[in-house]
Chain A
Amino acid sequence: MALRDPEVYKNPDEFDPERYYSGDAEAKGAKNFLVFGTGPHVCIGQHYAQLNLALFLGKASLLLDWKHHPTPLSEEIKVFATIFPKVRDGG
């Protein structure tokens, strides 16, 4: 619920990088962004992890192009320790 609070994130179910690029989501959602937890067990690698994903996406954008071929289930979410797009029923 913290990451979908409409008071903090307008149209919370929409993917919109602008809220972090030109918007105020970082400051406004400072207490909401619990993706890496908080307190004594907060993720020790969170800075590395996010920069690594930026490197991954940045390099991929230059070296690859890709298309997504949706399946009837690929916008649905499968939980296997974390969340993944569904590939097929039950999997």
Chain B
Amino acid sequence: MIASTRDMARKVFNSPLYVKPCVVDVAHKLLGADNWVFLDGKAHIDFRKGLNGLFTRRALQSYLPGQEEVYNRYFKRFLQVTKDAGGKPVPFMPEFRELMCAVSLRTFCGYYISDEAVKKIADDYYLITEALELVNFPIILPFTKTWYGKKASDMVLVEFSKACAKSKARMAAGGEPTCIMDAWVRNILASKKWLEAEAEGLSTENLEKPSPLLREFTDYEIAQTVFTFLFASQDATSSAATWLFQTMAQRPDVLDRVREENYKVRNGNIRAAIDLDQLESITYTRAVVRELLRYRPPVIMVPYLAKKAFPITDSYTVPKGECI
């Protein structure tokens, strides 16, 4: 059943008692059947609360230097690509997929992941997308799309687990967080400290109390969760980036205004890094992004599954087991 009007779509999104997100079967095999994205109801809400600390303003600020570094490096490379091509046009979408993957990985795993691993993940990521897109054969057979997809996702999970172990070591030594893994590990350590102090009846006056308090998470659990962030961001952000460039090239007046606003916020130094306050202050650029997402929305449908008979309107009830 297709819910295509605004209010019908909203009703589906807001009826967790009746529906849950529906994924192709192979998703369980690629992401791990025990992945948090497959949780439902209270278990899902509780796990998700624990992730909020990764997206606070303080956390977002700590990821910015890493994002800046990746953009600087790739934009330099783009200039070289054009130079090498003698100024002739080059297809840009694959470059953007790699760039967005590299930025995501820097935000997720900081500098715990090598440039070679970044390149490998960016190259292999389309195998995962390809494996998940089709209605696939239920058993993973060698040399099929799902087999390549599974191999690629296993490789990503191994890299992420290794990165997480490094983050734990660095955070334990008192390092400053620079990525999502750090922010998570930091909250785990702060929670532990708080709980230990409370258990021993010590003063918690000088301690920071994370909200919510977190339990321990294994490297694999964190890797699995961060993998879902890559999964959620890679295709959607690559799409938005590609359309942004195409749309700006076609509207030089809009691009000029973006350029002027960004020049101003950096006080005329085109290479200056900006902080979160400054980034939030470039309201014209943000309006361009907002409008682009309306004009070319990267996610065009979200499949849900009816857990039980779902009376979506007065006159129609979606039968249990139906995909919406």
Contacts and interface: CB of A to CB of B under 8 A. Distances in A.
A3 interface: yes
B146 interface: no
A45 interface: yes
Contacts of A64: 75, 78-79
B9 A85 contact: no
A79 interface: yes
A38 B287 CA distance: 20
Given A56-B244, A87-B93, 7 more contacts: A17-B287, A34-B9, A37-B299, A41-B13, A55-B67, A63-B271, A82-B298
A58 B282 contact: yes
B144 interface: no
Contacts of B79: 64
B217 interface: no
Interface in A24-66: 25-26, 29, 31-45, 47-64, 66
A17 B284 CA distance: 8
Q: Is the interface of B mostly helix, strand, loop or mixed?
A: helix
Nearest to B228: A44
Contacts of A53: 237, 240-241, 244, 289, 292
A17 B294 CA distance: 10
Interface in B290-317: 290-300, 302
Nearest to B296: A83
Given A57-B244, A83-B296, A17 B291 contact: yes
Q: Is the interface of A mostly helix, strand, loop or mixed?
A: mixed
14 contacts: A2-B9, A17-B284, A21-B283, A21-B287, A31-B10, A32-B6, A40-B48, A45-B229, A54-B289, A55-B64, A57-B285, A57-B289, A66-B245, A84-B93
B161 interface: no
Interface of A: 1-3, 5, 9, 15-21, 25-26, 29, 31-45, 47-64, 66-69, 74, 79-85, 87
Given A48-B107, A61-B258, A37 B13 contact: yes
A82 B235 contact: yes
B137 interface: no
Given A47-B60, A59-B71, A16 B291 contact: yes
Contacts of B21: 41
Given A37-B302, A74-B246, A19 B291 contact: yes
A60 B237 contact: no
Contacts of A67: 89, 249
Contacts of A3: 294-295, 297
Given A31-B6, A38-B10, A81-B133, A54 B286 contact: yes
A57 B258 contact: yes
A52 B249 contact: no
Contact of B300 (A15, A60, A66, A79): A79
Most interface-central of A25, A58, A66, A87 (chain B CB within 10 A): A58
B42 to A, nearest CB: 10
B60 A51 contact: yes
Contacts of B13: 34, 37-39, 41-42
